[in-house]
Structure 1
Amino acid sequence: MVHTKKIISVLLVFTMLAGCIGLSVNAADDLLLPDYTMSKSQWDQYWNTVEGDNTQIALTPGADATELNLNWHSERKAAVPMVKIADNENMDNAKVFLGYSTLADNDQQTNRVTVTGLEENTKYYYSYSLGKGNWSEPNFYITRSTDSFKALLVGDIQCSALDDGTGYKDATNWNTTLNTALKKYPDTSFIISCGDQTQTGASAIEWAATLSPKAMRNLPMATTIGNHDHKGTTYQHYVNNPNSQLVSTSKTGTPYWFRYGDVLFVVFNTTNANVFESHALAERAIMANPDAKWRVAIFHHDLYGTGHHAIDNDNYMLQGVYSAIMDKFEFDLAFDGHEHYYGRSYNMLNNEKVDLDYTAKKVTDPDGTLYITTASASGKNRVYDEPYHHSWINYSYMSPELIYCEVEFTQSTFNLKTYTVEGDKLIDEYTIEKTDFTYSAVDATETLLSTDALNRVLKHFMGDYYVIFEVFDKAVRAIWNAIASIIK
């Protein structure tokens, strides 16, 4: 009898442990994104419900991981935008957040709300309304740990309605890229889009196509302004970016920054000719986050890109200015697009390749900035007769295939993996390990003119004659410093 009781006791313990393990697995599974992949017929059926609908809600990262920004279009109405959020699908004990509206195109308005107080590793449900009634059906949003996280990195979604009037082709490819990436990495925290969300920058139909994938209701997307976005003014109506500049000389929208765990993301507008705004943005973001362990720049134009854009005169000007900003503020990484041709640079400092051992595809505490140029997420990739061989490119992949990058930040590493959608080919991987998380102090009295940005630009365009300017510049600076010391 005693022996039988011992056996029963042991079985009970194992049963309880199995139950606990089962609950743990179920809880973990509940924090993974579902499989969004569709057959062509399923996608076509779904497309019929969203085609041309620019009122679909969009999610944007908040100022940090405890916040979530939401925005959607509606007809113009004198009512307060509202979002309620709860940790259950029945929306019991939901908390309500109020927002504001601004006028948009086509007699519509943009409604923006920020949700705060979110906790890590929680599946939330949200619903939105304009006014007190007519709440939408609940949809989910999952928060994750910020100690280690993944983001989907893409560029040039560029949905176009010019060919078919709807953007169907590009939306289909974008949906395929997105769903494939999320099936492989269902623990992705958010999307980074390096500009050119639409083709014309002036079409509500094109924005409807870009926002059409189902996953866009559950996953925030951090965007930047590309040259195609800059062709029109619609970009500013389809985003709810955190920490954005209140005033900008750009007609398209304002740059911004956000933080996720120990990583600071600074999102620049390289279509804006007023580069002093970009310097001020970097300075303000970094001074507000002096303890960030990683600094990541996001912009559209490929400063050290893979194709013909990288050697345009316009791009050389941007390269001179923005590389000086990257160097001054010691950015670790820069994500960009524009080229429709994937590539990864060497670490660059002072407009030159940093001398490192790149053969192992892993570096530790490197100087300079690593630039990653994304391919087109809708497959609009450029394929030249021969690949370019720019001196700053460490690796490139020229192909018409759909391509995406998954980037991961841990406590001490940045990990990049780049895949093709068809065939799931790993075409590139790279790791940066950091043991030193210190940065130089920022002097708030210095402006862009305190950098050598102008010198870098002139050095390219003046060629051998640059030495004349260099001598003149050094003389002027010496005289200025002498006068300043006398005044002091």
Structure 2
Amino acid sequence: GDALFIVLNINNYNCADHEALIQKAVAAHPDTRWRIVQIHQDIYGSGADHSESDGMVLRDQLTPIFDKYDVDVVLQGHDHSYSRSYLLQGDGKAHAKFGAAKLADGSFDWDNVADLATGKKYPFYPKESDAAAAAANKYFLDQNHCYTLVGNGSNKVVNPQGTLYMTANSASGSKFYNLITTQQDFVAYRNQNWKPSYSVISLDGDSFRIDTYSIIDGKPVEIDQPFTIQKTVDRTPTLSASANPAKTGTSAVAAPKTGDDKNILAVVLLAAVAFAGLLALGADYLAKKKKASH
């Protein structure tokens, strides 16, 4: 087939397990043009609740893995708000690796993250009056500036370097979260329109396209520019950090767009976007078959 979808359960913080699964899937399907990974936590998201806390704990470990296996798109959730990244790659530098912090009884410590090498804990939510905790949190955030922005910010790219990260809002409308106050530099567009939304993937051997819709007054309305990747080669060689003109953790592309106002229509991604994409492909195939029979 044209696409390989890989679903990772990153509630498991062991990234060796995740790499082993990706390696096995790629080895079994080496000739697929597109590699698409689905995860729940948004390692590159923009929600207030998770994007700079538990959501990005595995960012500095998963980013180079996705680079290594030339993953084209990562579909995320968790923050119940929409964001779409620029194309991203790891910066090729050494960063601290983090994992789950535990309490004395062995249960998860949801307020802290642990350095895997030292065991030291770093707080997600430091009090403003606690200078030491604030400094520790800053270290955690700084270590997660482990990415480089590539490309020119276009919504239509050909044989691109890097990976696109898209974070879903709620498809059912059962729960929505606010966006984080300051939009991160890796975010090309983000929004929260407090409405159920979904996306459709269309792909073939040459192109991947994702369109996102909300239901407005009972009708589907496309609420972001389609994002399209075109390929003339199966795999795109990784661009080394030293050869990349973009600065680490900073934007060398067009200024980020935002849609924080609730009255502006948002872009949101269905968590089951792969399934929706397959349905769309099936519908397209049946329509062509029906037309050919007449």
Give deviations 1:160-198, integer Å, cap 9, x for gaps: xxxxxxxxxxxxxxxxxxxxxxxxxxxxxxxxxxxxxxx
The amino acid across from 1:267 in the alignment is: V
User: What is the SS of the residue equivalent to 2:5?
Assistant: strand
> Normalized per residue, which structure has more helix?
1
Q: Residues 310 and 386 of structure 1: is their aligned pair in 2 closer, same or farther, counting only changes over 3 Å?
A: closer
The amino acid across from 2:221 in the alignment is: K
- Alpha-carbon distance in 1 for matches of 2:75, 2:159: 19
User: What is the SS of the residue equivalent to 2:63?
Assistant: helix
Q: Residues 411 and 384 of structure 1: is their aligned pair in 2 closer, same or farther, counting only changes over 3 Å?
A: same
**1:351-362 equivalence runs, <5 A:** 351-359=146-154, 361-362=155-156
Structure 2, unaligned runs of 5 or more? 91-145, 239-248, 250-294
Kindly state the Cα deviation for residue 439 of structure 1 after the two structures are TM-superposed. 5.4
Q: Which residue of 2 aligns with 1:400?
A: 194
Q: Which residue of 2 aligns with 1:290?
A: 30
Q: Which residue of 2 aligns with 1:427?
A: 223
The amino acid across from 1:371 in the alignment is: Y
Kindly state the Cα deviation for residue 327 of structure 1 after the two structures are TM-superposed. 1.0
Q: Which residue of 1 aligns with 2:209?
A: 415
Q: Which residue of 1 aligns with 2:166?
A: 372
Give deviations 1:198-217, integer Å, cap 9, x for gaps: xxxxxxxxxxxxxxxxxxxx
- Alpha-carbon distance in 1 for matches of 2:70, 2:51: 22
User: What is the SS of the residue equivalent to 1:354?
Assistant: strand
Structure 1, unaligned runs of 5 or more? 1-260, 442-459, 461-488
Matched positions, count: 181
The amino acid across from 1:384 in the alignment is: N
**1:270-309 equivalence runs, <5 A:** 270-308=10-48, 309=50
TM-score (norm 2): 0.57
Q: Conserved in 2, the CA contact under 8 Å of 1:354 and 1:367?
A: no
Q: Conserved in 1, the CA contact under 8 Å of 2:35 and 2:70?
A: yes
Q: Residues 437 and 266 of structure 1: is their aligned pair in 2 closer, same or farther, counting only changes over 3 Å?
A: same
Q: Conserved in 2, the CA contact under 8 Å of 1:375 and 1:403?
A: yes
User: What is the SS of the residue equivalent to 1:286?
Assistant: helix
TM-score (norm 1): 0.35
Q: Conserved in 1, the CA contact under 8 Å of 2:44 and 2:56?
A: no
User: What is the SS of the residue equivalent to 1:311?
Assistant: coil
**1:196-235 equivalence runs, <5 A:** none
Q: Residues 290 and 375 of structure 1: is their aligned pair in 2 closer, same or farther, counting only changes over 3 Å?
A: same
**1:401-480 equivalence runs, <5 A:** 401-423=195-217, 424-428=220-224, 429-438=226-235
- Alpha-carbon distance in 2 for matches of 1:352, 1:419: 29
- Alpha-carbon distance in 1 for matches of 2:179, 2:207: 37
Q: Which residue of 2 aligns with 1:226?
A: none
Kindly state the Cα deviation for residue 400 of structure 1 after the two structures are TM-superposed. 0.9
Q: Residues 366 and 439 of structure 1: is their aligned pair in 2 closer, same or farther, counting only changes over 3 Å?
A: closer
